[in-house]
Amino acid sequence: MKIKTITLIAALFISGIIISNAQGQASLILDLKKSRVAYEMAKNKFENDTKLLDEKAISQMEYSKSKNELLSAEVEYQKLMLKLISEQSYIIIEKAVKYQTPDGDKRVRVTIRSSMEGNQDYLSQFKEHFDLFSPQMRSGKTYNIFVSLINLTDKTIIGSPYEIRIPSIELGKSVNVDFGLLKDVESLQVLLNYNNKKDEKNIFLEKDASANYIDITSTQFSQEADLGSNTSYDLALERFSSSDDVFKLLVVNLPRQISYSFEDSETKARLSNIKFNQGINLRKLSLKTFLPERDDERVVLDQPIIFYALVISGDSYKRFEEDPYKIYTEKELENIQGGKIRLELIPRGIGKLEVRATNLYHEITIGDTIKMNITIKNYGTRRVDNIKIETDNPLNWVSKINPMLIRSLNPEQEEIVQLTITPPKDVNVGTQEVKIKTEAYANNRRVETDDKTIRIQINAKTNILGTALLIFLLIGMIVGIVVFGIKISKR
């Protein structure tokens, strides 16, 4: 019931608009006819007054008044006729083409045309009145057309300049206006403002097919990565082409020690070719690079590696197959059929420390001291600085570390640290733990290391004198038994 009511209201509203427009048009025609009659009357009167002036039957003042009335009637009649023509004029948007300049700027070229198509028959009935119009008036120009590009989502202006004024367009003629895009979009609204009315058109932008190429952009074009890790560059591919060719995906100027792969951002499928389906001009990919574990003459720490991601046609791909590891200059890549983007990768090393000890378990008696060697080794890919070694001791235990601070360790370099652990004199019998901790930095980043735990078993002191007396007593008993046994055997 509600839907029927809404439909009825909408139909009545549209009918009201149509009736209102028809009434307004009919009223304008009636005003035009009245103005025509007033003009003809003023014209006849002026012609009669001209004769009377020659005959000196009227004064110069009366003649001037008659002339002014004719001019006023003519201006009023022309104004109504121009209003009628302007209401029948219409601006058509023929094309809105998105293209890219050699500098990489995105622009939109809008082609608009002045037309009265469908209204010519209506206007032909007024041709008999066109005698009042000058040749400029009869040209059918539309004056002062203002054009803007509007974002569909938030209705903000995204064209630069914000608004372009076209002084006039002759009937049937076309004019191009060119905007820079402040925001990269696929669809937008073209706003036309002319003859005291606004015309809004939502348009899906065409692509400039004059150049068969792919535009590639990335927000992560420069990245840092630790050796042994990988990176991911987001790539947005936009086709400026009318063809449905299959394009090859390729990377050049990347050292052979660094491998790579292209992946679809949605499906995560690995790709080597890409094709744009009909009506789809945007694709999103990711380029992953995998760094080696160690640096060398091509992969140098902290030195940027400049390389290019290419999306090219099959014919252009053949020239890269011959030598996949050739280093190409920017000039050599200018005229490829496809698209390219310059990317940057900065290898970074990472510091890794290893703490080793030959024995992490000790048994001592009360009053003993533990002395041991600890090996600190940098098995990472970057120099480690300011290595501080310390221990976490039980209460009243004392540790001595030599050296406590190692200024630096290069990759694969190691240093021996002497550790002395002294329990207190009144230590209890049992098991205690001492933790070895290290703190270090590599390239202003803290190096994470694992703590090592030393387990210490403490035993009570043995009474040497008592033990000796007990041993002598035992030996005496054994000797006595032996002697006693020999005597008995002799009897």
End-to-end CA distance of the chain: 138
352, 446 in Cβ contact below 8 A? Answer: no
Give the pLDDT score at 178: 94
1 pLDDT exceeds 70? no
Instruction: Give the whole-angstrom CA distance, residue 400 versus residue 389.
Output: 10
Q: How far apart (Å, rounded) are the C-alpha atoms in residues 185 and 217?
A: 14
Whether residue 490 is predicted with pLDDT greater than 70 in this model: the reply is: no
Distance CA 39, CA 346 (A): 84
pLDDT: is 116 or 364 the higher one? 364
CB-CB contact of 113 with 137 (8 Å): no
Element (H, E) at 398: strand 398-402
Q: What is residue 21's predicted lDDT score, i.e. its pLDDT?
A: 47
Q: What is the pLDDT of residue 214?
A: 80
Most confidently modeled range among 57-66, 107-116, 371-380: 371-380
Per-residue pLDDT for 146 more than 90? Answer: yes
Confidence band, pLDDT 50/70/90 cuts, at residue 29: low
- The beta strands (E) that lie in 267-352 are given as 270-271, 273-275, 282-290, 305-312, 338-348
Question: Which band of pLDDT confidence, cut at 50, 70 and 90, is reported for residue 3?
Answer: very low
18-27, 33-42, 69-78, 358-367: segment of lowest average pLDDT:
18-27
Q: What is the pLDDT of residues 429-448, one digit of tens each?
A: 889 999 999 999 888 888 88
Does pLDDT of 55 surpass 50? yes
Residue 307 pLDDT exceeds 90 = yes
Mean pLDDT of 282-290: 91
pLDDT above 50 for 150: yes
Domains 90-207 and 353-459 belong to one CATH topology: yes
DSSP 129: G
CA dihedral over 162, 164, 165, 171, signed as positive or negative: negative
DSSP 1-13: -HHHHHHHHHHHH
Q: Please, what is the average pLDDT of the chain?
A: 81
Sheet holding 206-207, edge to edge: 159-160, 174-181, 106-115, 90-100, 206-207
Report how far apart, in Å, the C-alpha atoms of 484 and of each of 407, 474, 487 are. Answer: 75, 15, 5
Is the pLDDT reported for residue 23 higher than 60?
no
Statement: 213-348 belongs to CATH 2.60.40.2310: yes
> Can you give the residue ranges of every domain in the chain?
23-88, 90-207, 213-348, 353-459
Mean pLDDT of 461-486: 75
User: Considering the chain, what percentage of its residues have pLDDT values greater than 70?
Assistant: 83
Level-2 CATH architecture, domain 23-88: Orthogonal Bundle (1.10)
Residue 390 corresponds to which tokens in the numbers above?
A: 């310390």
Strand partners, 61: none
Q: Please give the residue that has the higher pLDDT: either 21 or 413.
A: 413
Q: What is the pLDDT of residue 476?
A: 79
Give the span between the Cα atoms of 13 and 147, in whole angstroms: 29
- Return the pLDDT at 258: 93
Q: Which residues pair with 202 in a beta bridge?
A: 189
Residue 144, pLDDT > 50, answer yes
Give the mean model confidence (pLDDT) for residues 189-215: 81
Class of domain 90-207: mainly beta
CATH of the structural domain 353-459, one choice from 2.60.40.10, 3.30.390.30, 3.40.50.150, 2.30.42.10: 2.60.40.10
Residue closest to 315 by CA, chosen among 408, 198, 212, 220: 212
- Tell me whether the omega of the peptide bond preceding residue 424 falls within 30 degrees of 0, making it cis: no
Q: What is the residue whose two structure tokens read 């190409």?
A: 328
Instruction: Please determine, for residue 346, whether its predicted confidence score (pLDDT) is greater than 90.
Output: yes
